[in-house]
Amino acid sequence: MNSGLRKFALFGVVVSIGLLVAAWQVLPRTSNQGYQPEQPIPFSHKLHAGTFKMDCRYCHGGAYKSAHATVPSVSTCMNCHSLVYPESPWMQKIKKAYAEGKPIEWVRIHEVPDHVHFNHKRHVAKGVSCETCHGNVKEMDRVYQAQPLTMGWCLNCHRGFETPKYLRKAIYPENPEGTDPVAPFTCNTCHY
């Protein structure tokens, strides 16, 4: 092999590796795991759900009756905070929003693409705990995305590969050790 060709081959390899690294850096991530944006009001889930042991569904009432878990309306905050810490600057913001009728714009953390239809109600009804997908929110001062929420991750549970023990027990009480699928996994369960 002559040196010119060798040089060319080497150059090719270097460029290819470079391109791969560049692609890794710039191409979109399929998962947003670990995403922890700042919210307009530093609401602490650790305080509300952890310390005060408030039920998730008090604020996220849609979780058991709709596809969306829903983020609480300002009036839900006011249920308590018209009396609790009304003077805090964040509560002033809430009060102002309530008085002016202007909603708070929260930053969305957990999001599946538009072509995926995820239904909270079905999962909650089946006994999937909030923590299974959302992590230990009770410990989170500022909420972040704990799980990858990718299709592979969804399917690992649906097909029974990595189904949490408690869930398998709830679904197949007679055979908690099996590896059968626990939920449908045809495409149009989620994609339509």
Q: Could you list the residues that contact other proteins (CB under 8 A)?
A: 26-29, 32, 35, 37, 61-62, 65-68, 70-76, 97-98, 101-108, 111, 113-117, 119, 121-122, 125, 186-189, 191-192
Least distance in angstroms from the C-beta of 6 to other proteins: 29
Q: Which is nearer to other proteins, 1 or 27 (CB)?
A: 27
DSSP state of 28: P
Least distance in angstroms from the C-beta of 89 to other proteins: 19
Instruction: Tell me the C-alpha distance between 16 and 142, whole Å.
Output: 40
Instruction: Tell me the C-alpha distance between 18 and 26, whole Å.
Output: 12
Q: Which is nearer to other proteins, 7 or 96 (CB)?
A: 96
Q: Which is nearer to other proteins, 13 or 71 (CB)?
A: 71
Q: Which is nearer to other proteins, 7 or 191 (CB)?
A: 191
Instruction: Tell me the C-alpha distance between 57 and 129, whole Å.
Output: 12
Residue pair 165/89 in contact (Cβ under 8 Å)? The answer is: no
Instruction: Tell me the C-alpha distance between 120 and 69, whole Å.
Output: 6
